[in-house]
Amino acid sequence: MEPERSVHSLNADAVRLKKPLGDLTGLTQLGVLQVTLMPGHGSAEYHMHHYEEECVYVLSGNGTATIGERDYAVGPGDFLGFRRGGDAHTLVNTGDVPLVLFVAGQRLEHDVCDYPRIGKRLYVAGKREALIDLPDGEDA
């Protein structure tokens, strides 16, 4: 199966090569992907979910996970879990070979996702989405 190239809508440096493993097996409530990040590319804009949870297992390669205000080196065998309402996070391939990840997350009918570095909030309801400025005084 050839991976699908995907660029995050709010971060042009977040270029992912995704294999939708869950879709292939008919999963509807859980997103399961193999994601490959080439050197210098990230997984997503720095973000947090108000309702959905997600996790990442590093299969190969090396990178940096930013969780809250801290950076962590990650490599093969590392597992990251992001609870709903938890710290904002992102991953970047800081190595010189592809960073290959196993990623899983909920697929709720609704979610709210904050992007604190760019001051945005995304509301998701089914297939409808609305991106707004983060309300004054709110940090993710």
Q: What's the pLDDT band for 140 if we cut at 50, 70, 90?
A: low
Residue 66 · residue 11 · CB < 8 Å:
no
Instruction: Give the pLDDT score at 139.
Output: 61
What end-to-end distance do the CA atoms of the chain give, in Å?
A: 37
Q: Is residue 14 part of a domain?
A: yes
In a domain, 40, yes or no: yes
How do residues 21-79 score in pLDDT, each as one tens digit? 999 999 999 999 999 999 999 999 999 999 999 999 999 999 999 999 999 999 999 99
pTM for the model stands at 0.92
Cα 82 to Cα 117: distance, rounded to the nearest angstrom: 18
Flag whether 137 is in a domain. no
Asked whether residue 98 is assigned to any structural domain, the reply reads yes
Give the three-class secondary structure for 127.
Answer: coil
Number of domains in the chain: 1
Q: How many CA atoms lie within 13 A of 35 on its CB side?
A: 26
> Which CATH number fits the domain that encloses residue 22?
2.60.120.10
Q: What percent of the chain has pLDDT over 70?
A: 98
Domain span including residue 68 = 4-108
Any domain includes 120: no
Nearest to 57 by CA among 29, 84, 32, 76: 76
The mean of the pLDDT values for the chain is 96
In a domain, residue 71? The reply is yes
Residue 117 forms part of a structural domain: no
Q: Residue 79 falls within a domain, yes or no?
A: yes
